[in-house]
Amino acid sequence: MSETEPSVPVESERDDETAENAEQAVVAVDAFDEREGLANRLDAHTGDGVRHRAFTCLLFDEDGRILLAQRAERKRLWDTYWDGTVASHPVEGQSQKEATRERLEEELGITADQYGDLEVTDRFEYKRRYLDQGLEWEVCAVLQATLHDTSFDRDPEEVGGAMWVDYEDLYENPRYYRQLRLCPWFEIAMRRDFEDDADPVPDGERE
């Protein structure tokens, strides 16, 4: 008889994340990313949703490859999809850069001394539903940086896998990467980046 611990059902882990979300708040914003108050995180991602502030960070190595991260199975929305390096929501009083640095260290063990040029390169509004589980309605800031030390140590509770991919090839030849299901906000950020639509000042136009 095996003495290993039984695996925890994915549904149970998702229930845990749902409970966590119900205890947290996100910053509600207008189409121009101006604060309108706080919203319960679970409420913001269910029903008709609440537009809120978010970010996604794209980290590169010195050869132009992007570090993609797979969302863990326990995630309620877009579980197992591949994202840019990290994505999340700043809390009240936290800047996008502060939130990004925090999530990079929490999810991938990447610290600020491994990069030095973290900048907000774009900001856009989008709204997407995921199956019958909920939705994202965000004004999403995009931050980018280049790693001079590419080592990382992912947290499997948050990141199911990670890989380096040629960024330009990913955009120009999506058929080569069709086995990767990409998160919608990352696809929007990548397209805007390559089509020169990126602008860190939000224009209130939804993708």
Structural domains in the chain, sorted by start: 25-195 (3.90.79.10)
pLDDT tens-digit profile, the chain (207 residues): 334 444 445 555 655 555 565 578 999 999 999 999 999 999 999 999 999 999 999 999 999 999 999 999 999 999 999 999 999 999 999 999 999 999 999 999 999 999 989 999 999 999 999 998 999 999 999 999 999 999 999 999 999 999 999 999 999 999 999 999 999 999 999 999 999 999 999 877 777
- Which active-site residues does the annotation give? 138
User: Where is the binding site for Mg(2+), in residues?
Assistant: 107
Predicted local confidence at residue 5, as pLDDT: 44
Exposure class string for 119-147: b at 16+ Cβ within 10 A, else e:
ebbbbbbbebebeeebbbbbbbbbbbbeb
Does residue 134 contact residue 77 with C-beta atoms inside 8 Å? yes
Question: How far is the C-alpha of 48 from the C-alpha of 135, rounded, in Å?
Answer: 8
- Token pair of 118, please? 């973290």
Question: How far is the C-alpha of 100 from the C-alpha of 32, rounded, in Å?
Answer: 20
User: Where is the binding site for Mn(2+), in residues?
Assistant: 45, 52, 89, 136, 138
Predicted local confidence at residue 32, as pLDDT: 95
User: Where is the binding site, in residues?
Assistant: 45, 52, 89, 107, 136, 138
**pTM score, whole prediction:** 0.87
The DSSP output letter for 53 is E
